[in-house]
């Protein structure tokens, strides 16, 4: 149950969004641009960054939702997502993505934690300025979403089936469509 | 030196909004709604939340800019806020604003830090659910901005007149993207 009366019983971030629809449009457009529209990084890698940062912020709702989305995208699966939550350095991903996750991990702690050597390591593994930019902004954006969800005590379902539905829908449709879980 | 190749005449968040305009558009709309849209919190109160969270995140660019904006708005300078100030005790605030800034400070650490008791206290001092919602989201948004600005090492001017001009711009014009893009016409570093 959220800390405030949202006047609906929708789980997770969409329950908060229903309470403040004009804000919801901007939030979903931001998610769409960063995670679902064409960009230099693949959709799977961007969702992995989102899920990873959420795991570092202990936000179960976002970590599980974006993990499920990553798992439903090409070259994604649940074992990979869990390996990244546990230890991205030993996960079966390329060195470029590892170097980007290292930057994302620092961003989760605070922007000033990112060092020139973190950036140099990513560039050395082939990351472009746009890859690095998007990594930092996705990580920063999930530092917002995670705080929004947990700071207002949004409902976090226990049922894995909930996240499978979310993962499948968002992987296929992006962020601008109505949730299939929300009844009219 | 920024970590990526940004426009050399732009600073802080402006240089990033210019680099990735597709992301800037929803970010600017979100900021405009939260800080300038209709609300029972005053614009100065909302800028104060932004400034306080930025100070706690040690983001000099955002803290200085939003402190400046707070002080330019009605009721803002009376709080006594200064850039990078993290101690709320020395500020002149209503009990309601103290309780909302207390929630914002917990959000700055992590969303999981906020308790039903914190929310109950804000309710007791007259905060509405919408005010609490917006406080949490403004605090969260500045956890985004502060990380974005410092995580890419954007240029942070030290000259006070830069922030005076920026404060004037965001209080007079708000946060929506200018149609012709961002320009550094009002400030040239020495």
pLDDT level of residue A100 (50, 70, 90 thresholds): very high
Task: Tokens for B60, please give them.
Answer: 């000099």
Percent of chain B at pLDDT > 70 equals 96
pLDDT level of residue B187 (50, 70, 90 thresholds): low
Q: Is A3's CB within 8 Å of B37's CB?
A: no
When mean pLDDT is compared across A3-7, A126-130, B87-91, the lowest value belongs to B87-91
| Contact present, B54 and B101 (Cβ < 8 Å) | no
Find chain B residues with C-beta within 8 A of A116's C-beta: 3, 153
Distance of residue A38 Cα from the nearest chain B Cα, in angstroms: 11
> Crossing angle of helices A116-124/A129-151, nearest 10°?
120
Domains of chain B, start order: 12-172 (1.20.1290.10)
Domain ranges of chain A: 12-173
Give the per-residue pLDDT at B188: 57
> Quick one: DSSP state of residue B78?
G
* Out of B20, B119, B141, closest to residue A133 by CB: B20
Find chain B residues with C-beta within 8 A of A33's C-beta: 22-23, 25-26
> Quick one: DSSP state of residue A33?
I
Find chain A residues with C-beta within 8 A of B63's C-beta: none
Q: Is A114's CB within 8 Å of B27's CB?
A: no
pLDDT at A184 over 70: no
Cβ–Cβ contacts within 10 Å for residue B183, how many? 12
Handedness of CA B117, B118, B119, B125 (dihedral sign): positive
User: What b/e sequence results for B32-43 when a residue is b if at least 16 CB atoms lie within 10 Å of its CB, and e otherwise?
Assistant: ebbbbbeeebeb
Residue of B nearest to A130 (CA): B4
Q: Is A151's CB within 8 Å of B146's CB?
A: no
- The residue-averaged pLDDT of A160-179 equals 97
CA distances from A48 to A78, A91, A135, B65, B119 (A): 11, 12, 10, 33, 33
pLDDT level of residue B190 (50, 70, 90 thresholds): very low
Give the per-residue pLDDT at A182: 84
pLDDT level of residue B183 (50, 70, 90 thresholds): confident
Q: Which of B2, B15, B44 is nearest to B170 (CA)?
A: B44
Does the ipTM surpass 0.90? yes
Give the per-residue pLDDT at B165: 96
pLDDT level of residue A95 (50, 70, 90 thresholds): very high
| Contact present, B138 and B35 (Cβ < 8 Å) | yes
Distance of residue A67 Cα from the nearest chain B Cα, in angstroms: 19
- The residue-averaged pLDDT of B147-168 equals 97
- The residue-averaged pLDDT of A49-56 equals 98
Residue of A nearest to B105 (CA): A151
Q: Is A148's CB within 8 Å of B140's CB?
A: yes
Which of residues 118 through 177 in chain A touch B, CB cutoff 8 A?
119, 129-130, 132-134, 136-137, 139-141, 143-153
Cα B62 to Cα B84: distance, rounded to the nearest angstrom: 9
Number of Cβ pairs < 8 A linking chain A and chain B: 152
Q: A12-173: what CATH class?
A: mainly alpha
- The residue-averaged pLDDT of B21-25 equals 97
């Amino acid at each position: 149950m959220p800390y405030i009366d949202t006047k609906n019983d929708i789980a997770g971030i969409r329950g908060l969004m229903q309470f403040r629809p004009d804000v919801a449009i901007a939030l979903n457009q931001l998610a769409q641009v960063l995670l679902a529209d064409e960009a230099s990084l693949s959709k799977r890698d961007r969702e992995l960054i989102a899920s990873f940062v959420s795991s570092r912020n202990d936000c179960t709702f976002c970590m599980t939702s974006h993990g499920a989305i990553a798992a439903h995208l090409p070259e994604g699966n649940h074992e990979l997502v869990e390996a990244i939550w546990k230890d991205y350095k030993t996960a079966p991903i390329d060195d470029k993505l590892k170097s980007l996750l290292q930057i994302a991990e620092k961003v989760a702690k605070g922007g000033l934690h990112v060092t020139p050597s973190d950036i140099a390591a990513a560039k050395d593994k082939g990351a472009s300025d746009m890859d690095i930019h998007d990594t930092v902004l996705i990580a920063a954006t999930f530092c917002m979403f995670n705080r929004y969800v947990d700071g207002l005590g949004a409902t976090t379902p226990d049922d894995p089936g909930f996240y499978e539905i979310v993962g499948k829908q968002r992987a296929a449709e992006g962020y601008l469509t109505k949730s299939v879980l929300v009844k009219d | 030196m920024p970590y990526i190749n940004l426009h050399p005449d732009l600073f802080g968040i402006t240089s990033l909004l210019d680099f990735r305009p597709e992301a800037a558009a929803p970010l600017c709309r979100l900021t405009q709604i939260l800080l300038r849209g209709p609300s029972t919190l005053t614009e100065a109160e909302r800028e104060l939340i932004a400034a306080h969270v930025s100070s706690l995140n040690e983001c000099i660019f955002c803290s200085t800019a939003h402190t400046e904006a707070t002080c330019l708005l009605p009721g803002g300078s009376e709080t006594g806020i200064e850039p990078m100030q993290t101690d709320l005790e020395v500020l002149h605030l209503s009990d309601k604003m103290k309780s909302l800034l207390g929630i914002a400070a917990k959000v700055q650490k992590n969303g999981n830090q906020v308790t039903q008791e914190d929310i109950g206290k804000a309710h007791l001092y007259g905060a509405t659910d919408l005010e609490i919602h917006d406080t949490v989201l403004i605090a969260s948004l500045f956890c985004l901005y502060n990380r974005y600005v410092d995580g890419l090492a954007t240029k942070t001017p030290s000259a006070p007149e830069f922030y005076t001009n920026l404060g004037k711009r965001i209080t007079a014009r708000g946060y929506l993207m200018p149609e012709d893009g961002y320009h550094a016409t009002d400030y040239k570093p020495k």
